[in-house]
Amino acid sequence: MTDQLQRFIFDDYQIRGEIARAHNSFNEIIKKHDYSPEVANIVGELLIATSLLTATLKFAGKIAVQLQGDGPLNLAVINANQDQELRGTARIAGETQGLSFKQLIGKGHLMITVTPDNGERYQGIVELSKDSLSECLEDYFAQSEQLPTRIILHASSADKPQAAGLLLQTLPAVHEDHNEQFQHVSALASTVKEEELYTLENEELLHRLYHQETVRLFDATPITFKCSCSQERCLSSLASIAPEEILEMLKEKGAIDMRCEYCATDYHFEVDDLKILLTDPHNTQH
């Protein structure tokens, strides 16, 4: 199915929602990495969560959603922009198979960093004290935004990678029974099955959940995997190293090899490729 995010609202309630599905992008992120199923599934959930969060922001810019802890999965991060172009990676230090979300992360934090094209960068941080990524994100919205939010995330790397999720969030309430309404639609959302999120068209999925409600779907936005690495960016990174250190590396290994930790693309530089860095005394400007 097409990777996409689609927004919806309830006409009779002050509640908005989003459905995201990103099977292909999930596969692109994990296919060149030797992640255990447990790690891959968290990366898939984080991918969907970031897509859902990006859609809640009305800005042009970038967002990074990061899990950082003292467990064997000490870092997982997804980067995205307002066009739903995403990439991600994970860092592992220890055995991860058979571990739960809390066991994988250990003690740590969820960090959401928003960098607008115009405006100041800001960051929200919440302790990872819950048993799942969904619950941690709901805790984040409760603490930092004071917005009741329900998030459902699923990802599976077995056989063919699949990742999908659903978000419900209150708008400024105008009815006394608003809390009751939000609890009602949240309870119905909790009945959705993992396979339904993976395979059903959004219209059918929402009809199954809310056939007694009036739900309005907006146009879908494509979700794509896109890594920003390039040979030029690698050279720019090398430009921060003193020429004598670059020469020492070349003397030791004959060339410099770099790998993008997001997409696992390899870049190979020999001495001819690095002449500008070795001869220009102002190389840090390139």
What pTM did the predictor assign? 0.88
User: SS3 string of the chain?
Assistant: CCCEEEEEEECCCCEEEEEEECHHHHHHHHCCCCCCHHHHHHHHHHHHHHHHHHHHCCCCEEEEEEEEECCCEEEEEEEEECCCEEEEEEEECCCCCCCCHHHHHCCEEEEEEEEECCCCCEEEEEECCCCCHHHHHHHHHHHHHCCCEEEEEEEECCCCCEEEEEEEEECCCCCCCHHHHHHHHHHHHCCCCHHHHHHCCHHHHHHHHHCCCCEEECCCEECEECCCCCHHHHHHHHCCCCHHHHHHHHHHHCCEEEECCCCCCEEEECHHHHHHHHHCCCHHHC
pLDDT at 263 over 70: yes
Among 8-17, 72-81, 190-199, 271-280, the range scoring the smallest mean pLDDT is 271-280
- Strands 73-81, 221-222: parallel, antiparallel or unpaired by DSSP? unpaired
Cα first-last separation, the chain: 42
Q: What is the pLDDT of residues 85-118, one digit of tens each?
A: 999 999 999 999 999 999 999 999 999 999 998 8
Query: For the ranges 12-21, 221-230, 237-246, which has the lowest average pLDDT?
Result: 237-246
**What is the set of domains in the chain, with CATH numbers?**
4-225 (3.55.30.10), 231-285 (3.90.1280.10)
Tell me the average pLDDT across 247-257: 86
Percent of the chain with pLDDT over 70: 95
Residue-level pLDDT at 203: 96
Share of the chain above pLDDT 90, in %: 64
